[in-house]
């Protein structure tokens, strides 16, 4: 069935509007390049960052190089996330967007986690991924999951626990956009079992219906 040009344009416009209404506050100026140097003339504190005088902005403030390079997946989860947010591109400050590249070794995963400040839209470039998110208690914790192939896209709503797993025998690569200049990440296992100081094992044993010795073992594994 042929899709009309007007329908495509409406879809693109809807996506643009949705990102324009991102979680981060909309900017009221052309740009507000972040700086750590508060001595720079005209510096103003905006949304967690100082902004340097716009007249001192340069092309490098809006540039990042290196997403063509694979990340090191030699770790426990066999994946690597290369983040491009306001810390890497100061010009993203107040723009409400950021980007990541995710590399997965065979059978590697980006373990269950949340982004407290952003919705994520992921496109798979290479390999095969099993991805999904779990809705809130209010929605009975439903699992929304798909197997992705190159060119497929999946969306993870803001705040929802989600994951990606490489189910293939070859490396996988994905890129994802996030609707925040600094989306944040809370990896569930690390956060619960690796908190500093540790959560009382009795509390976690009851919460997860586990033997307390199992909890202690997990806390030892995830200890910072």
Report the pLDDT value the prediction gives residue 189, as an integer from 0 to 100: 95
Q: Say what the pTM is.
A: 0.82
Q: Which residues contact 154 (CB under 8 A, 6 or more apart)?
A: 121, 122, 131, 146, 148
Residue with the two structure tokens 């996330």: 81
Report pLDDT for 23. Answer: 59
Residue with tokens 């981060």: 24
* pLDDT single digits (tens) 8-57: 555 555 555 555 455 566 666 788 888 877 665 455 555 567 888 888 89
Q: What is the CA radius of gyration of the chain?
A: 20
Beta-ladder partners of 113: 162, 187
Contact predicate 94/23, CB 8 Å = no
Residue-wise pLDDT tens for the chain (224 aa)? 455 556 555 555 555 555 545 556 666 678 888 887 766 545 555 556 788 888 889 999 999 999 999 999 999 999 999 999 999 999 998 888 999 999 999 999 999 999 999 999 999 999 999 999 999 999 999 999 999 999 999 999 999 999 999 999 999 999 999 999 989 999 999 999 999 999 999 999 999 999 999 999 999 999 86
Q: CA 168, CA 79: separation in Å to the nearest integer?
A: 13
Task: Supply 32's token pair.
Answer: 């507000």
Give the burial class of 69: count Cβ atoms within 10 A of its Cβ; 0-12 exposed, 13-18 middle, 19 or more buried: exposed
Can you say whether the dihedral through the CA atoms of 20, 24, 25, 28 is positive or negative?
A: negative
pLDDT score for 51: 84
Cα 19 to chain centroid, rounded: 15
Distance between CA atoms of 191 and 184, rounded to whole angstroms?
13
Beta-carbon contacts of residue 4 (< 8 Å; ≥ 6 apart) = none
* Cβ within 8 Å of residue 81, ≥6 positions away: 71, 100, 101, 102, 110
Q: Six-digit token pair at 140?
A: 């009975």
Cα of 203 vs its chain's centroid, Å: 29
The predicted pLDDT at position 1 comes to 45
| Topology adopted by domain 5-189 | Jelly Rolls (2.60.120)
Start and end residues for every CATH 2.60.120.10 domain found in the chain = 5-189
pLDDT of residue 131: 98
């Amino acid at each position: 069935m042929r899709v009309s040009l007007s329908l495509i344009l409406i879809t693109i416009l809807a996506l643009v509007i949705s990102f324009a209404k991102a979680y981060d506050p909309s900017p009221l100026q052309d740009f507000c390049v972040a700086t750590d140097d508060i001595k720079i003339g005209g510096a103003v504190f905006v949304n967690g960052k100082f902004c340097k005088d716009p007249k001192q902005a340069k092309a490098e403030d809006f540039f990042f190089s290196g997403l063509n390079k694979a990340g090191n997946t030699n770790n426990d989860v066999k994946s690597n996330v290369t983040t491009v947010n306001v810390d890497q591109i100061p010009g993203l400050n107040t723009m409400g967007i950021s980007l990541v590249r995710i590399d997965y070794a065979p059978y590697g995963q980006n373990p269950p986690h949340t982004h407290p400040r952003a919705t994520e839209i992921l496109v798979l470039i290479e390999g095969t991924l099993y991805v999904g998110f779990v809705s809130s208690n209010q929605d009975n914790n439903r699992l929304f999951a798909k197997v992705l192939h190159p060119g497929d896209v999946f969306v993870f709503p803001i705040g929802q626990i989600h994951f990606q797993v490489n189910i293939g025998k070859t490396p996988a690569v994905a890129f994802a956009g996030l609707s925040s200049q600094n989306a944040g990440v809370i990896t569930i296992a690390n956060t619960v079992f690796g908190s500093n100081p540790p959560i009382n094992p009795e509390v976690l044993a009851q919460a997860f219906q586990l033997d307390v010795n199992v909890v202690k073992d997990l806390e030892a594994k995830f200890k910072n």
